[in-house]
């Protein structure tokens, strides 16, 4: 358990570092600035995403598609809790704010899911090709 937590924190640090650098580059190019609240929200989002991805071992018995849907639902619930907490503690979030946040969260998720889908098909094709090759070589006997 301790090892898992350590691994989770290392991955979270890596993800957050990458997202921060990417965000900083976007800010420089767009000439915009961020604030402390946004930095904290970004960190919380990274923590939720890393945690949700970390759960994939729990869904070994279900299909990858169902796993992705379940992970998305869990992520939505956690994001909802985060936004609700922020809404209560800092300032109320408008419906537009909720919509924008979910949209900016869903689009990369769909892109990554599509990439995963493509990779599964590509890897399977390559493995099938490898099996053909092994079978052909065995016929030499």
Q: Does 140 bind other proteins (CB under 8 A)?
A: yes
Q: Does 73 bind other proteins (CB under 8 A)?
A: no
CB of 128 to other proteins, least distance (A): 4
SS3 content of the chain, % helix, strand, coil (to 5): 85, 0, 15
DSSP per-residue codes, 35-53: -HHHHHHHHHHHHHHHHHH
CA-based diameter of the chain, in Å? Answer: 75
Q: Find the helix packing angle between 64-89 and 36-54, rounded to 10°.
A: 150
Residues from 28 through 57 that contact other proteins (CB under 8 A): 57
Q: Does 94 bind other proteins (CB under 8 A)?
A: no
Stretch that binds other proteins, among 7-15, 31-39, 70-78, 120-128 (CB under 8 A): 120-128
Task: Enumerate binding residues for other proteins (CB under 8 A).
Answer: 57, 60, 63-66, 116-117, 120-121, 123-124, 127-128, 130-131, 133-135, 137-138, 140-141
């Amino acid at each position: 358990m301790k090892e898992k937590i350590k691994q989770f924190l290392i991955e979270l640090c890596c993800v957050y570092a990458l997202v921060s650098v990417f965000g900083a580059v976007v800010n420089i190019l767009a000439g915009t600035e961020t604030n402390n609240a946004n930095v904290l929200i970004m960190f919380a989002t990274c923590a939720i995403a890393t945690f949700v991805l970390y759960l994939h071992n729990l869904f070994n018995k279900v299909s990858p598609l169902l796993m992705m849907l379940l992970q998305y639902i869990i992520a939505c619930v956690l994001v909802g809790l985060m936004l609700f907490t922020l809404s209560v503690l800092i300032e109320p979030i408008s419906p537009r704010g909720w919509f924008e946040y979910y949209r900016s969260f869903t689009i990369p998720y769909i892109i990554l899911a599509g990439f995963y889908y493509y990779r599964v098909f590509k890897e399977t094709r390559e493995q099938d090709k490898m099996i053909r090759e092994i079978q052909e070589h065995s016929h030499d006997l």
